Amino acid sequence: MKDIDLVIFDWDGTLMDSVGRIVSSMQATAKALNLGVPSDQAVRDIIGLSLMPAFDRLFPALDEGSRAALLAEYRDQYVELDPTPTPLFPGVEAMLARLGASGKTLAVATGKARAGLDRVFAATGLAGHFVTSRTADDAQSKPHPEMLTQILAETGISAERALMIGDSQLDMAMAKAAGVKALGVGFGVHSPEQLLAAGAQGVISDWQQWALA
């Protein structure tokens, strides 16, 4: 990590253990709207995309009215119908504190909407660890590199000194497109083998162990 000044994190499936909730919410949304219910794996494969591209992949050929209804129903399912806070993965808070104390600049690049990221920032108290963030409302969806290029421009840190950490092949592809180093986490959407094949330079198996490395 000595050659890294900027660490950029994905959120869902990387810092927060939210993959299961996303899968169940998307399946409940499809059922409520009488659409074909996607499999667990089909939903896992779109996690990391912004919501509209995700919907287009899971439910192709919907008109604009149906897409708007889908968005509203999903947000109801995810936020309003299940008020239970989604937990962070063990060791996340200590890891972020350690990186910050060592002088690293930290940021978030997520497919969540800005309102969704603000909500989990407030619920977890982690916002103060990050100097900036990009969401689906701020830049093009992963794997397009715009989230990362915007963060690099804002922080003034070169791509060669930056590291992207995420749990999906989309994160790895985004990092590659931006010329940023990439690490995978093996407890989210995609397997370590898939992440390595997508360009990860290594895979983290446990935040508690990595925080002590």
Radius of gyration of the chain (CA): 17
Catalytic residue among 12, 45, 167, 171: 12
Q: Is 118 a catalytic residue?
A: no
Q: Which segments of 10-146 are extended strands (E)?
A: 105-109, 132-134
Which pairs count as long-range contacts for 76-84, CB under 8 Å and 24+ apart, including other chains? 77/25, 77/26, 77/28, 77/29, 77/32, 78/21, 78/22, 78/25, 79/116, 79/119, 81/28, 82/21, 82/25
Strand arrangement of the beta sheet that strand 132-134 belongs to: 132-134, 105-109, 6-9, 162-166, 181-185, 203-204
Catalytic residue among 5, 10, 167, 171: 10
Please state, in angstroms and rounded to a whole number, the distance separating the CA atoms of residues 25 and 39.
12
Q: Is 12 a catalytic residue?
A: yes
Enter the DSSP assignment of 185.
E
Give the active site residues.
Answer: 10, 12
